[in-house]
Structure 1
Amino acid sequence: MNTLKFFCFFILIFIGSCGSNGTDDESSVPEISSTLTETLDNYIDTSIPSSGAGIAIFVNKNETVKYTGFKGLANIQESISIDADTGFRIASISKVFTALATMKLFEQELIQLNDSILKYLPELPSSWQHITIHHLLSHQSGIPQYENHPDATIWDGQTNDDVLRFYISHSELSFEAGSKGEYSNAGYHLLAEIIFRAVGIHYENYMHEYFFEPLGMNNSYVADETTSPRVNDALNFAQYTTFNGKNNFTNGANGIVSSINDLNIFISALLDGQIVKLETLNLMLVHHTPALLGEADYGYGWILAPEGSDAFSHTGGHDGFRTWLLINRDKNLRMIILGNGGDLTGDHEQLAKLMGPFL
């Protein structure tokens, strides 16, 4: 959670710095060259080793690719370099896809946002009757993070079924649903299960059938206990990790693997209204939960810039993977950063400062 707040803070810096000098503290700005390409090339050449974990960066503005750059290895043992088709675990950017899948069902009138989650998951505590799908999407459910409970330290090989079983026997809430917001992976795990209950298709199959296959996102899939990394996938080579190397097979809040090329395809389809209607996307971009992440507001599956800006994004940190996807419709800008080296390849603060003057 602290990592996500940290990334969100620098998202706001980035949004505010575009077209400016990047920061008021010039002494903290990395070396900026005459062009974006020279600047970012210099940064990754001096910061990312060729023989270790690496990073993929993509920037598009006004329908023109301003930068595509890669450095480092997806697989150190096999000496496989990172490229535009390398699949990374995108971590919490998965919430964007889960929220969109939920909103597709809303458009089809298969669910309603004010439906109680017990309509789909009746085995959960009866005292949760007042928690709705809206509350899950906007992180207002009051369902506490199970990882923080003394009865549920992070265990190896956990799945959504394990999470569901935990909450069946642990009914206490952190606060009354709708009274405040608190970022919750658990809510998005439950949304994945609600998608299954609503349409009878498991989350991983739903994402393949309705997102990845029709959009041509050939490097994308949901990683679970039945899958193994593909040949071109980036493996985790972090120096610092969050989950202590334990296998985690939950999805909804995390679990999706994708690439620079696939996420660019996804953004184009989203902005063209091919995934959900644009009016539905705008409903997702309502500031449902102000100041959820420090200064950053939250909609449905999106971290939002302050009111008055049409920028929305999500970051992710899962074990050694550090990810960032940003869309700014005001500036006709999209940006994707994927890394597999933990803190060593996830310095979004520096990248924000470097890009700001050019965007």
Structure 2
Amino acid sequence: MKFRLPFIAILFSVYCLSQNIVSNVDAVVNTEMKERKIPGMQIAVVQNGKIVLNKSYGVANIQNNLPVKNTSVFPINSTTKVFTAVAVMQLLEQGKIGLSDSISKYLENLPSEWQKITVEQLMTHISGLPDILSVLDPATGSLGAMRTENAMWEKIKLSPLNFKTGEQSSYNQTNYYLLGKIIEKVSGDSFVNFVTQNQFNRVGMKNTQFGDSRTVIPNYSPTYRFRKNLDGRPLKEEMLFNDYYEFPDFTFPGAGLNCTSEDFANWIIALQNNKLFQKSSTLQTMWSPIKLNNGTATSWTRGWGIAKFREHHTAIGMSGGSRSVFLIYPDDNLAVVVLTNLAGSYPEDFIEEIAGCYNAEIIKADPLTYLRKNLKKIGFDKAIDFVKNEKKQNPKWSIQEDELNNWAYRMLAKNQLNEASEIFKLNVFLFPDSWNAYDSYGEILLKMNNKTKAIEMYKKSIQLNPSNENGKKVLLDISGA
């Protein structure tokens, strides 16, 4: 018995630590669900190649008051794109696709200016292609009056490029529509079958399938959305509604996948254990950005929209529909999956706080999460002072302009005007040579009826970028008001 006591003590200590971590995760989740009014959530955490947490919170179906279970299935929207990227890389290993190949090698009857676009330019959204969403129904995503895929395709081909290929990055569903067509062409199988056979079945993802609001999906957790308007009329107050959306099957390579956090976690484990690829180098290639024409790295890696290449605690992942997100931390042998049933819940804002429950250093490694967590304590009006002090203590501390801008717009979408205003203001302070920072700050000042200050910001934006036509139009509208 004397020899067993130390071992039992160690087990008890490990158990207590695990319970403390779970309590900390619960605290983050419960706080965010309350603040963001998220009905239901499902999370999974992978550590050292094993699922260490798989937990459900809240209500999956409000109408019938059904709780979220570990078998509840959630839409993941654009997070689907990482599965498409893996399919492309599998075909690369088979020698059937070349990342630098022109897409005209695989697809016929493309407009002439599209033909030299490469496969990896589609994967990283630097093609400049017009977006098929521009010709689909903006409210539901359906084909609408066009009725057929062919009609949609013929119409989108008439549109010019939005910019010269490789000059800039612009998120675009056409890129993944074409990747789906290439996968089908070289594999000789449908996109859905190829992904199902080579990923879902290989991993054992029994609760994962493609579909949308029209599809009968077992254990489905429908998505909800808060709306301020309905049927073209403003509501007296914001209300929660069912969120109906269609993903025509030809758009599946870009969206339309539904799964559980457990299925997703098992997919991550398989991905990192080389069960989906033949060579470990394939994963590293997929997780590497390519270059724009000017030599700068793309914000996307090949198929993955979140790429935080930090000095420590690198994070790779993807978000979708403002309701789902996952991050893999290769250096920490850690991954986190967060699925919700509220469109506009933006779990990407707090996923790194969950990761921080397993490694506290991750929070400070991510400037946005670190800033957000501290401003919630001290007040958003202290944003500039906090950043000044942080940079004084750590000259290497920095945050990206786009990260701040996107975060501020997410808060604006939730009508958090004061908080969003302070972050737009911080962006102007940190990036005084950015025309877009001034343009964005001017936008929210105008929403807050501070016309004088808004005019000042728009004028500065146009001074920095004389081609800012939107800013000129806003100024003209203000002057005519």
Shorter-chain TM range is 0.7 to 0.9
Match of 2:91 in 1: 105
Match of 1:247 in 2: 246
The AA in structure 2 aligned to 1:118 is S
In the alignment, does 2:273 pair up with 1:285?
no
The AA in structure 1 aligned to 2:217 is R
The AA in structure 1 aligned to 2:197 is E
Match of 1:311 in 2: 315
CA deviations on 1:263-295 (whole Å, 9 max, x unpaired) are 1110111001111221111111112258xxxx9
Pair 1:131–1:296, CA change in 2 (3 A): closer
Could you tell me how far 1:136 is from its partner in structure 2? Answer: 0.4
Distance 1:38 1:73 in 2: 20
Does the CA contact (< 8 Å) of 1:156 and 1:248 recur in 2?
Answer: yes
Match of 1:69 in 2: 55
Could you tell me how far 1:46 is from its partner in structure 2? Answer: 5.5
Distance 1:242 1:253 in 2: 25
Distance 2:339 2:84 in 1: 19
More displaced stretch, 299-308 vs 92-101: 299-308
Could you tell me how far 1:77 is from its partner in structure 2? Answer: 3.2
Distance 2:126 2:220 in 1: 34
Match of 1:178 in 2: 166
In the alignment, does 2:29 pair up with 1:41?
no
Does the CA contact (< 8 Å) of 2:56 and 2:68 recur in 1?
Answer: yes
Q: Which one has a larger percent helix, Structure 1 or Structure 2? A: 2
Does the CA contact (< 8 Å) of 2:307 and 2:316 recur in 1?
Answer: yes
Could you tell me how far 1:243 is from its partner in structure 2? Answer: 11
Distance 1:64 1:216 in 2: 15
The AA in structure 2 aligned to 1:299 is T
Match of 1:272 in 2: 273
Pair 1:105–1:346, CA change in 2 (3 A): same
Match of 1:82 in 2: 68
Number of aligned residues: 313
Alignment of 1:48-59 (within 5 A): 48=33, 53-59=39-45
Residue 153 of structure 2: which of 150, 164, 186 is its match? 164
SS of equivalent residue, structure 1 residue 330? helix
Distance 1:298 1:180 in 2: 11
Identity rate, percent? 28
TM-score w.r.t. the length of structure 2 is 0.59
SS of equivalent residue, structure 1 residue 206? helix
Distance 2:68 2:45 in 1: 17
Question: Please, which runs of 5 or more residues in structure 2 have no aligned partner?
Answer: 1-18, 228-239, 360-481
Match of 2:445 in 1: none
Distance 1:162 1:80 in 2: 41
In the alignment, does 2:217 pair up with 1:230?
yes
Distance 2:50 2:263 in 1: 17
Residue 202 of structure 1: which of 186, 190, 196 is its match? 190
Does the CA contact (< 8 Å) of 2:60 and 2:72 recur in 1?
Answer: yes
Pair 1:213–1:355, CA change in 2 (3 A): closer
Distance 2:114 2:346 in 1: 38
CA deviations on 1:166-224 (whole Å, 9 max, x unpaired) are 32332x11222223322222201211111112222111121112111122100111226
Distance 1:94 1:160 in 2: 20
TM-score w.r.t. the length of structure 1 is 0.77
Distance 2:241 2:161 in 1: 25
Pair 1:332–1:192, CA change in 2 (3 A): same
Could you tell me how far 1:261 is from its partner in structure 2? Answer: 1.2
Alignment of 1:104-143 (within 5 A): 104-143=90-129
Q: Which has the higher contact order (CA 8 A, sep 6+)?
A: 1
Match of 1:328 in 2: 329
Q: CA RMSD in A?
A: 3.0
Match of 2:303 in 1: 301
Match of 2:435 in 1: none
SS of equivalent residue, structure 2 residue 170? coil
Distance 1:179 1:117 in 2: 18
Match of 1:11 in 2: none
Q: Which has the larger radius of gyration?
A: 2
Residue 82 of structure 2: which of 96, 110, 131 is its match? 96
Pair 1:161–1:254, CA change in 2 (3 A): farther
Pair 1:190–1:71, CA change in 2 (3 A): same
Could you tell me how far 1:326 is from its partner in structure 2? Answer: 0.8
SS of equivalent residue, structure 1 residue 166? helix
Alignment of 1:143-154 (within 5 A): 143-147=129-133, 149=134, 153-154=137-138
